Structure 1
Amino acid sequence: MASESPYEIHDPRFLHLIVGSARLEELHTGCRWAEGPVWFSDANQLLWSDIPNQRILRWTPDGGVSVYRQPSNFANGNTRDRQGRLVSCEHGLRRVTRTEIDGSITVLAESHAGKRLNSPNDVVVRSDGSVWFTDPTYGILSDYEGYRAEPEQAARNVYRLDPETGAIEAVIGDFAQPNGLAFSPDERTLYVADSAASHDPALPRHIRAFDVADGRRLQNGRVFCHIDTGIPDGIRTDVSGNLWSSAGDGVHCFDPAGTLIGKIRVPQTVANLTFGGPRRNRLFITATASLYSIYLAISGSQRP
């Protein structure tokens, strides 16, 4: 008996992005809150965070799951830079770090204007080497995903770290709780999720888009789309410019104009996702206690 299809078609165009026979696979379970997946093509491995358990886990197609790092300082979002190094957001020490090739840790950001960051959440690296990250207060709201503390920053900012000088600049300051972020394939647009409805239904549950000027300034901010179930958390784009977002009922796919064209239903609340595999056409999904994957008919835009 065939398993139930995980797809929810809202627009026929979604049929060209999915593999009809592909099914959602649960690769691992046992996490408390799975987050921050990042694919390393050269090592044929996926790393992701299990925030409350203070660990970063590793999955390989042949070797299964092992612990990559513990304790992880309540690491949340992860990415890799243009040199293939792991870049992580740590709730515990309220900083952004880079893991060097020899395994040592370099602190990229831990303060702004002389005050500690809130709790860096998610991070992306642009092709020019600049590091962009969000800084909501989730990691200091309680002792579950970090250490409870009062915020020192006056706003929940999105920051840009200059690759040449290391200077940190707040590029957006009007979010309630900025969360996942992703560039369009041509890097002319930055998408940022606002997930503040997680703690107040009256607050945003949308994704905003910004034009990127000169590779560093953001302008023309507008609401790109709304999430109809749950909140937007982690987001990614594919090579055609569609945006894939986490949500309460799975993964939502929006066309470049912000129209919902389809969903991949997932049994648990989705926190984040990333494209991986040799052809970047395997979507890895972190959802509450588990790591899932599903093959698609389109590839991710980010460098693996």
Structure 2
Amino acid sequence: MSPEYEIINYKRFRPSIVANARLELLHTGMRWAEGPVYFADGDYLLWSDIPNNRILRWVEGGGVTTYRYPSNNANGNTRDRQGRLITCESGGRRLTRTEYDGSVTVLADNFQGKRLNSPNDVVVRSDDTIWFTDPDYGILSDYTGDKAESELGANHVFRFDPRSGTLDTATAEMVKPNGLAFSPDESILYVADTSISHDPAGAHHIMAWQVVDGRRLVEPRVFATIEPGVSDGFRVDTAGNIWTSAGDGVHCYAPDGELIGKIQCPEVVTNLTFGGPKHNRLFLTCATSLYAIYVGERGAQRP
């Protein structure tokens, strides 16, 4: 068994891992890496280096190049159902879409006439709606954005409908909403609250919200408490397990919230995504590096 694995529940975690797979260092030299997104049709990965104001591109056997600079301190990334890049711009305080010709379309930069805080992480639902978190991290200092006061006065989870151009609040009840992902059947939206980052008594857990009519979030419950560290970003596999960043690597939670195993990592993991031709390679962005490891499950969100 690879030394990176820590098995907590053998029966439940063993099918999710590849015993002889090792954690591979793919690239290093970032200041704070985030937002990995895999492009299956091109077999490459994009991710953000937020303080360095750039999006990087990794190709198997081809090394790393700069995909976009400046990036408006891009943070979270994903793809829409048409394969276009969707980006949370922490510095730009907006949600954008990169078109097929490379041009950038602003999808949302304000709510009811007030500027967004600093869009952080994003996921696309099967009905094409785009759900993203908007905490205040990017406006708290000049490191990952531009220091400013919040115009909204609250940190939201938003739902954007690209067909109508409508931006709605899914919830404003979380202190610092961060990573998010849908369950495989999209009946649950998992959202991390990482307010312990600025309050010793704050949250470091993942909330599970029931999705009603594809629009509203109701019946919140604490799905899992992350320790050490926080759930900065996570993804769900086809079996419903949640693979999340944590202070000591990646934690894997079964659909009922049981911590079943871990992947140890030499750096703090910030986010992750599934990729590779079979969608069974877990790419990890860490504080300064990009890693990958093959696992026994496939990601639920298709690239």
Query: Which residue of 1 is the match for residue 265 of structure 2?
Result: 266
Residue aligned with 2:172, SS: strand
How far is 1:163 from its partner? 2.7
Residue aligned with 1:71, SS: coil
Q: Following the alignment from structure 2 to structure 1, what is the Cα–Cα distance between the partners of residues 299 and 85?
A: 18
Q: Following the alignment from structure 2 to structure 1, what is the Cα–Cα distance between the partners of residues 25 and 287?
A: 12
Q: Following the alignment from structure 2 to structure 1, what is the Cα–Cα distance between the partners of residues 235 and 72?
A: 25
Query: Which residue of 1 is the match for residue 171 of structure 2?
Result: 172
RMSD, matched Cα: 0.9
How far is 1:218 from its partner? 1.1
How far is 1:62 from its partner? 2.1
Within-5 A mapping of 1:214-293: 214-293=213-292
Query: Which residue of 1 is the match for residue 13 of structure 2?
Result: 14
Query: Which residue of 2 is the match for residue 200 of structure 1?
Result: 199
In the alignment, structure 2 segments of 5+ residues that lack a partner are none
Q: Is the counterpart of residue 69 in structure 1 residue 68 in structure 2?
A: yes
Percent identity over the alignment is: 63
Amino acid at match of 1:35: E
How far is 1:125 from its partner? 0.6
Amino acid at match of 1:258: G
Q: Following the alignment from structure 1 to structure 2, what is the Cα–Cα distance between the partners of residues 30 and 76?
A: 17
Q: Following the alignment from structure 1 to structure 2, what is the Cα–Cα distance between the partners of residues 192 and 252?
A: 15
TM-score by length of 1: 0.98
Query: Which residue of 2 is the match for residue 155 of structure 1?
Result: 154
Amino acid at match of 2:139: I
Query: Which residue of 2 is the match for residue 131 of structure 1?
Result: 130
Amino acid at match of 1:137: D
Within-5 A mapping of 1:39-188: 39-188=38-187
Q: Following the alignment from structure 1 to structure 2, what is the Cα–Cα distance between the partners of residues 205 and 32?
A: 23
Aligned length: 302
How far is 1:15 from its partner? 1.1
Q: Following the alignment from structure 2 to structure 1, what is the Cα–Cα distance between the partners of residues 8 and 99?
A: 43
Return structure 1 stretches of 4+ with deviation > 4 angstroms. none
Amino acid at match of 1:6: E
How far is 1:86 from its partner? 0.2
For 1:215-253, what per-residue CA distance to the aligned partner results, in whole angstroms no more than 9, with x for missing partners?
111111111000010111101000000011101100000
Is the 2:13–2:260 Cα contact (8 Å) retained in structure 1?
yes
In the alignment, structure 1 segments of 5+ residues that lack a partner are none
